[in-house]
Amino acid sequence: MHNMPSIYGMNFLEKSMLGIIPETVIIIFAFFVLFLAFFEKLAKRNNSYYLSLIGIVFSILYVLMLAGRNISGFYGSFVFNGFDAFLFIAILFSGLFTVLMSKDYIENSGMPAPEYYSLILFGLSAMMFLVSSNNLIMVFLSLEFMSICAYILTGYIKDNTRSTEAALKYFVLGAFASAFLLFGSVFIYASTGRLNLYGIHSFLQNVSYLGVAGSGGSIGIKVYISAGLILFLIGLAFKMSLFPFHSWTPDAYDGAPTPVTNFMATGIKLAAFAIFLRIYSLIYDFNVMNFNDILWLLAVFSMTFGNIAALLSTNIKRLLAYSSIAQAGYILTGIIGGGFYGYSGTLFYLLSYIFMTAGAFSVVIIFENSNLISLDIKKYSGIGYKYPFIAASMSFFLLSFAGIPITSGFMGKFYVFSSAVKSGYNWLVIIALLNSAFAAFYYIKIIVKMYMPDKEPAAASSNSSVQGNIPEIAGGAIDEGIMITIIICLILTLFMGIFPQIFINFANNSAGFLWRI
Amino acid sequence: MEELFYIFSFIAIFSALMVVIMRNPLTSALYLILCFFALAGLYVMLDMQFLAAMQILVYAGAIMVLVVLVIMLLNISRIKNVKSDLHQKIIGILIALILFIEIIVYIYNGAQKNPTGIFTEALIKKVGNTKIIGQFLFTVYMLPFEIASVLLLVAIVGAYLFAKKKY
């Protein structure tokens, strides 16, 4: 019979299991939460909410415990090292915020809680598997796993046609994208004969793939692998919502329940960028084709299109969706910049992006929860005086999106753009800077709306002041989970802006692991 | 053996044609099952017993049951008012031509003269590829296999949630 690699020795299973403990903990808690749905009494109260919070906290603790190790297990199906530890923490934070902000939302809309939280947890574990996967099969499977959780959660509001429509659109387009990804992996496998990412890496290092005739006949390996990498890029670009593959983003973000929108905007985007970063550093970096030119175009179009569309949109969720497309363009700039600084800058930007986005969405949820304000941006006028803290934090997050100094968004953009300049992509950075100046306009437009209400309706209805039009939050109480989210996001956004050195050191450490094969 | 190949491929092509030509959807579906069986026969001839079994179990067994069920639920006995669209025909012929050329190119280029790797033809003949696939599934690809099981569970939960009329 064939010989299995015998590098693992006796305690192969123990070693392998150690690396997937964070994911396993999340999956076990997801099963517990799902199990609660059997019992009506247990499902009615907030048990599933607290249980999933505990699960996520446990998983974070396990990641911290494992942080220094470098584990590869299950015959190289996955790898856990500093790079994964950084991204696991970021992903788990995104899940933590999603769970924290969805308590009241779930109660108000009457959706079944246990299934919802278990799907969030399953989605989290899928993202972690995706980040740490080191095998084309694992990449595809965990990407599908993650997407299926997202499809179900998008259509979670039962009687809402917008939600169902969004889920259907997302599902059909996502299935197409997955097919592209699978087709791409088949091409890569066909040309290299390996599924392991490190294996493909060493194959490309050793074999002169540029030769005219490869082993596959008269068409060389180069053609096959370029076709495979392009198709693979399409599949991942869909998940990253880059320009030509973005069309699902506004609809899905708009139709989904707002906590799920946050989950998609932070978690899924983070996981997709993380796996793209790993594959880019291992395979795309060989420059089989001029992939950087393709990525250059994608980044420029994503930024420009996202910003122009965000300027024209009047719904705050759609605006944030378009702005997330633009942000994906900025993040891609760091990957194009490449090298050690580019990757660590990208990681820093991804981390800061999570906190800004989660903060902005939790403010949206506060107003959506109490049915005070619809998602129309016009309705936000004047809330700056009624709810000073919430409005101030929203403005801070929006300023961070725009990249104003002392926010984390500024530092993230700084690192990403400076790495691109170092690699000589001057035009890309000039376009990106113009774009972020342009984007500041619509972010600041919302802040202006919040603090300077329009005067015309006030003049029409003579005595009633503008501020009087904004109703009180029912009972005057905001769910403490959302407040905790906003406060954590606020502190970290500020902290990453003022003392970026601590976080960039983390990012540097974890980016260094990409080269330690 | 060569006669068997011709018989199977004739059945496959004939039933595939009938799937397109037949006006009754149910008859088309039944011809499609016949096509799958013929393909399974071809797989057996290539020493791919596992693939053949999967072809019959998954395609002819599970997926076609779904197709037939949907046809029965919709109660379509006959496709009426079929508009023969010229554009559709042209596009269909074009796509078929492209696929045909693709297959020719693939067969011309892709046929590997000397297969490499540890699984030689003699070994596969001796052990049978079902055993090899099983061994791989539970050793090298154990983690993907387990993830697939959780994925299916999530898909079931999703189907249950969407099918439920009211919470």
Neighbours of B51 (CB within 10 A): 18
A364 alpha carbon, distance to own chain's centre: 18
State the smallest CA–CA distance between residue B136 and chain A in angstroms.
Answer: 9
Q: What pLDDT sits at residue A130?
A: 93
Region A168-180 average pLDDT: 92
Which runs of consecutive H residues, i.e. helices, occur in B82-141?
Answer: 86-110, 121-127, 129-138
User: Is residue A168 domain-resident?
Assistant: no
Confidence grade of residue A308 (pLDDT, cut at 50, 70, 90): very high
Q: Could you tell me the pLDDT band of residue A302, with boundaries at 50, 70 and 90?
A: very high
The residue among A447 and B124 whose pLDDT is bigger is A447
Name the 3-class secondary structure at A314: coil
| A465 CA: distance to closest CA in chain B (Å) | 42
Chain A residues within 8 A of B116 when measuring between CB atoms: 215
Query: Do the chains contact at B166 and A78, CB–CB below 8 Å?
Result: no
Query: Closest-CA residue in chain A for B159?
Result: A152
Contact yes or no for A74 and B142 at CB 8 A:
yes
Q: How confident is the model at residue A118 (pLDDT cuts 50, 70, 90)?
A: very high
Q: What is the mean pLDDT of residues B143-166?
A: 88
> CA–CA separation, A322 vs A251, rounded Å?
10
pLDDT for residue B14 is more than 80: yes
Q: What is the mean predicted confidence (pLDDT) over B121-131? A: 77
Do residue A145 and residue B127 have CB atoms under 8 angstroms apart? no
pLDDT over 80 (residue A432): yes
With 60 as the cut, is the pLDDT of residue A61 above it? yes
| Beta carbons within 8 Å of B24's beta carbon, 6+ residues apart | B77, B78, B79
Spell out the residues 6+ positions from residue A341 whose beta carbon is closer than 8 angstroms to its own: A415, A418, A419, A422
Task: Classify residue A316: in a domain, yes or no.
Answer: yes
Residue A477 has pLDDT above 70, yes or no: no
The answer to whether residues A401 and A409 touch, using CB atoms and an 8 Å cutoff, is yes
Domain harbouring B59, CATH code: 1.20.120.1200
Annotate A207-270 with DSSP letters as a single string: S-TTSSS-TTSSS-HHHHHHHHHHHHHHHHHHHHT-GGG-THHHHHHHHS-HHHHHHIIIIIHH
Neighbouring CB atoms inside 10 A of A128's CB total 31
Question: Domain for residue A359, yes or no?
Answer: yes
In a domain, A463, yes or no: yes
pLDDT reading at A315 higher than 80 = yes
For residues A517 and B8, give the distance between their C-alpha atoms in angstroms, rounded to a whole number.
49
Residue B151 lies in a domain: no
pLDDT recorded at residue A216: 44
Helix axes A136-154, A161-192, angle to 10 degrees: 170
Task: Please judge whether A152 and B108 are an interchain contact, meaning their C-beta atoms are less than 8 angstroms apart.
Answer: no
Q: Which of A158-162, A475-479, B124-128 has the lowest mean pLDDT?
A: A475-479
Supply the angle between the helices A21-36 and A12-19 in degrees, to the nearest 10. Answer: 70
- Distance (Å) from the alpha carbon of B7 to chain A's nearest alpha carbon: 31
Residues 6+ apart with CB under 8 A from B110: A216, A217
- Distance from chain centroid for Cα A202: 29
Whole-number Å distance between alpha carbons of A297 and B72: 49
Is A107 part of a structural domain of the chain? no
Cα radius of gyration (chain B): 21
User: Looking at the complex, does the CB of residue A108 fall below 8 Å from at least one CB of chain B?
Assistant: no
Characterize B75-87 residue by residue with b for buried, 16 or more Cβ atoms within 10 angstroms of its Cβ, and e for exposed: eeeeeeeeeeeee
Share of chain A above pLDDT 90, in %: 38
- The residue-averaged pLDDT of B89-117 equals 80
- Which is nearest to A220 in space by CA: A288, A290, A291? A288
Q: How far apart are the first and last CA of chain A?
A: 29
| Domain presence at residue A91 | no
Q: Is residue B85 part of a domain?
A: no
Q: Does residue A324 contact residue A273 with C-beta atoms inside 8 Å?
A: no
Give the count of beta carbons closer than 10 Å to the beta carbon of residue B46: 10
What does the DSSP 8-state code read for residue A315? B
Q: What is the DSSP string of A80-147?
A: ESHHHHHHHHHHHHHHHHHHHHTHHHHHHHT--HHHHHHHHHHHHHHHHHHHHB-BHHHHHHHHHHHH
Q: What are phi and psi of A241, to 5 degrees?
A: 50, 60
**Chain mean pLDDT for chain A:** 84
Q: Which residues of B touch A152 (CB under 8 A)?
A: 154, 157-158, 161-162
Q: What is the predicted pLDDT for the residue at B139? A: 82
pLDDT of residue A219: 53
- Confidence check on the interface: ipTM exceeds 0.90, yes or no: no
Report which DSSP code applies to B57.
I
Percent of the residues in chain A that have a pLDDT greater than 70, as a whole number: 89
Q: To 10 degrees, what angle do helices A426-451 and A388-402 make?
A: 160
Give the model's confidence band at A491: pLDDT under 50 very low, under 70 low, under 90 confident, else very high.
Answer: very high
Structure confidence at residue A464 as a pLDDT band (50, 70, 90)? very low
CB-neighbour burial class of residue A3 (10 A; exposed 0-12, middle 13-18, buried 19+)? exposed
Distances (CA, A) of A189 to A213, A285, B140: 17, 17, 16
The pLDDT assigned to B82 comes to 67
Tell me if A200 sits within 8 A of A192, measured CB to CB. Answer: yes
The pLDDT tens digits for A231-272 are 999 999 999 989 888 889 999 998 888 999 999 999 999 999
d(CA B61, CA B67): 11
**Number of domains forming the structure of chain A:** 1
pLDDT tens digits along A199-236: 888 888 776 655 444 444 445 677 888 888 999 999 99
pLDDT at position A458? 47
Q: How confident is the model at residue A3 (pLDDT cuts 50, 70, 90)?
A: very low
Q: How far apart are CA B18 and CA B32, in angstroms?
A: 8
Residue numbers of the domain that contains A486:
306-517
> Per the domain annotation, does B133 fall within a domain?
no
Instruction: Give me the mean pLDDT over the A451-468 stretch.
Output: 53
B3 within some domain: yes
In a domain, A175, yes or no: no
Confidence of residue B71 (pLDDT cuts 50, 70, 90): confident
Confidence category of residue A46, pLDDT binned at 50, 70, 90: confident
- Domain of residue B73, residue span: 1-78
The answer, yes or no, to whether residue B149 has pLDDT greater than 70, is yes
Residue B57 inside a domain? The answer is: yes
| The pLDDT of residue A53 | 92
A502 within a domain of the structure (yes/no): yes
Concatenated DSSP letters of A348-394: HHHHHHHHHHHHHHHHHHHHHHTT-S-SBGGGGTTHHHHSHHHHHHH
Evaluate if residue B7 carries a pLDDT over 60. Answer: yes
Instruction: Tell me how close the Cα of A419 comes to any Cα of chain B, in angstroms.
Output: 36
In tens, the pLDDT along A387-410 reads 888 889 999 999 999 888 888 889
User: How many contacts, defined by CB atoms under 8 Å, are there between A and B?
Assistant: 87
Query: How close does chain A come to B111, measured CA to CA in Å?
Result: 8
CA distances from A455 to A275, A303, A392, A460 (A): 49, 34, 21, 9
Cβ pair A60, A89 in contact under 8 A: yes
When CB atoms are compared, the residue of B116, B148, B150 closest to A122 is B150
Count of structural domains within chain B? 1
pLDDT at A220: 67
When pLDDT is cut at 50, 70 and 90, the band that residue A480 belongs to is confident
What pTM was computed for the model?
0.88
* pLDDT tens digits for range A124-165: 999 999 999 988 999 999 999 999 999 999 988 877 788 888
For residue A506, pLDDT beyond 90: no
How far is Cα of residue A372 from the mean position of the Cα atoms in its chain?
Answer: 28
What's B62's DSSP letter? I
Tell me how far apart the alpha carbons of residues A401 and A358 are, in angstroms, rounded to a whole number: 12
A144 touches chain B (CB under 8 A): yes
**Cβ A148–B151 below 8 Å, yes or no?**
yes
- The whole-chain average pLDDT of chain B stands at 84
Instruction: Give the whole-angstrom CA distance, residue A26 versus residue A141.
Output: 18
Would you state the structure tokens that stand for residue B23, as one six-digit string?
Answer: 């006006």
- Is the pLDDT at A102 greater than 80? The verdict is yes
pLDDT of residue B161: 87
**pLDDT of the residue at A461:** 44
